[in-house]
Structure 1
Amino acid sequence: MTGQTIITVQELTRDIKRCFEENDSWRNLWVRGEISNFTHHSRGHMYFTLKDEAAKIRAVMFQSHNRWLKFKPQNGLKVIARGEVNVYERDGQYQLYVKEMQPDGIGALYQAFEELKERLRLKGWFDPSKKKPIPKFPRKIGVITSPTGAAIRDILTTIKRRFPVADVLLIPVQVQGEQAASSVARAIRLAHRYPLDVLIVGRGGGSIEELWAFNEEVVAEAIYQAQIPVISAVGHETDVTIADFVADLRAPTPTAAAELAAPLLTELEEDICQLTRRLYKQINWLVAEERQRLNRLRQSYAFKYPKTLLRQKEQELDQTIDQLHKHMRRYMDQQKNNLGALHHRLRQAHPRAAIWQYMMENRRLRSALSKMMKQYLTAKQAKLDLVISRLDGLSPLKIMTKGYSLVYDQEGTKLYKSVTEIQPGESVRVRMHDGQLDCQVWGIKEEQRDA
């Protein structure tokens, strides 16, 4: 044993427990089995064994989870349990800690229920804002249920006891079996042919298979499309169906549905009596108040001396008229003064004087402009004449009148500036101030200039 690590039983158990806790697949799993050794502890916890033909496992379901069970577990009952596997350290034994459990055989129905419930919720069929109010005093109550079950007897007895003045119309249907759902849906549509104020749809208690017709979409659709307010009354208080979610009001039992649909007549009679007493009391109080007011009026000055009061009022009227005339004259004088002041200000601000002033200024400016234009044109004309005179003095034509001439080649494109540019016998064109000459050179004599 030298070199070997020795651990305690507690340490070993905790290591095993840690292995269970680190395995995610054991944290949330479903187990099918048969209940045996069932014990319901006084503190509310349930202890039992789940077994099948080949194995068994200890299980515990604490009170915080089993309080929502809709059935009573017992030995020999086959169930499907959801929970996690872990180790109970004190006994060193692994066991299933159950969080949810249902009888075996309804798992598929439960899944279908949840799927349909979620789908209809997303479609808005459970929206509270779409629920129709239940009338307080219905005259005609429709009941859709089996004509032979205990539910119809409870409903009729309750309505007759609470509100016997209401008429009840029974529309018989099948409440379980393959044709039950279509029978209930058809009856809901048929109910719209009658002048019903409210409709009770339901049946007595039973297993989930027996209540399944009220979990069918065809029934939910008929309730959702109904124009008559619908009270669902399916099974016992712990039974919940799709019809309960879609209906305008859910009743825990058929008897409760009748109580919700029909008011208690004796309570209504008592309310009416109380309201009647309050009404009489209020009327008597008002009559007494008005009688006292009448007596005060009879004792008033106006009733005792009406002529004297009339003369006083006539005099007050004359004084009021005089004051009105006085105020009117004062008001008219004030308005006339205001009008005169405004007229004076208007004449001062009349545009005629401004227009005349602008016209005179316009004439003065036009005259000044004309004078300046003439001076400007005279100066420019004198300057132009001077430039023309100078330009005329520099003109080659002006110089040619003094006897000068220009010599070009025969085509008249090249101007000769020296005799060295011309050959004897060459034809030239001589330009004079009054015309041109076509000549031929017979001889050339070059003049010598002093350097």
Structure 2
Amino acid sequence: MTHRLHRWLDEPAPPDSPTVWEISRFLAQTQALVEGHWDRVLLRGEIRQLSAATSGHGYLTLVDASGQPGSLACVVWRGQFGRLRSILREGEEVVVMGRPTLYPPTGRFQFVIEQAEPAGEGQRRLALEALRRKLIVEGLIDPNRRRPLPPLPRIVGLVVSGSGAVLHDMLQVAAERLPVLFLHAEAPAQGAEAVAGNIAALRALIADGRAEAIVIARGGGSKEDLAAYDEEPLLRAVAACPIPTVSAIGHEVDSPLLDEVADARAPTPSAAIALLLPTKGELHERIGMLQRRLQRRTAHTLSELALAQQRLAGRLKDPQTLLLLSRSRLDQWRRQAQEGWQRALRSRETGLEGFKARLRAASPATALHRRALHRQQLQSRLDRAAAACIAEPRQNLSRLERRLEQGWRTHQPLLLALDETGAVIDAAARLREGQALTLRFADGRVGVRVEEIERR
């Protein structure tokens, strides 16, 4: 078997063969799948093997309370464990909310508990909290999405049961306030049909299209009686309503999720009418306040206009003065324009003269003249240099000629020593050993070489 496994691993895998996973990669992939598929989950079970670690985290096992086989390892992180310590007790039946996960280092599947409540009432609270979080994530519970109510609505829709005293109380409060037209859509206050009935009544008012605001109302009752106003279908229908809505469910202490989804909340149905409709006295007070505000703004505007008029009057001058000023400015602009044209013309003329000078300097005749002058200067320097070069030999030659003439006249032999260049050697200091010389006599020349020099 081992030999076959080694041979199979060494051979190339066929195209349809299963992928061989590394353990760490498989666990990480499984963790991503588990956490990506499940969000927050509500579980009900009995607590077993509860323990607190030195790190502050809590560990426990939840078993099925119905007696069916099944257990789930759970962890409560330190921050939540300290808060839930009084609820999490050995042997207690609880409802927990959290999320499943996989711990890659050990490959252990476990459930992370975030909330916990005793079984029964706690289960409903956790379910409502989970729904609330869900609506917050979707943006349906957000104070920024709430729309303002109309200041003086003329038509108001009422989603309320007509069989109780709630509708009568609302109409009685409205009788003392601004006259308004009510559109009543019958809706059951409780029971199995409460959710569907309220949604149908709400959609009927939306389809009618005349209501400027809609009040969803119900009198007080137990939490079970008000449970319909925590149901997700009704909450989503109210959130999608294009008309501003007011939630008026129960009494001040009651706070269904509808209060957070609607555009406004009223503690009671009667308070919802007071929120939408002012009394005659409130209306007169509001009108008086608006009149006073208008008067203040009007007075302020008139004051600003008067100041602006004074400023303009101060800036306004005599037309004759304005005409003279305009003529003076026109003359100034004319002079400036003339001076500008003259400067530009002089600049152009100067540039033209410079161009002419450069053109003359670059002409062939000028170049030839410069070359002729340069040639004359070179010729003069050459003549002076040649004269300087032959002046001294010419003087030496004259002296020699005079000495020769004197020697011929006295019939005495004359001796001259000449170097290789023909220059006369007139001193022993100018000689060096081995130097070739020419001795010139009256009757001929003799070539010699210096063997020894004796200086005096």
The TM tier, using the shorter chain, reads: 0.3 to 0.5
TM superposition score normalised by structure 1: 0.47
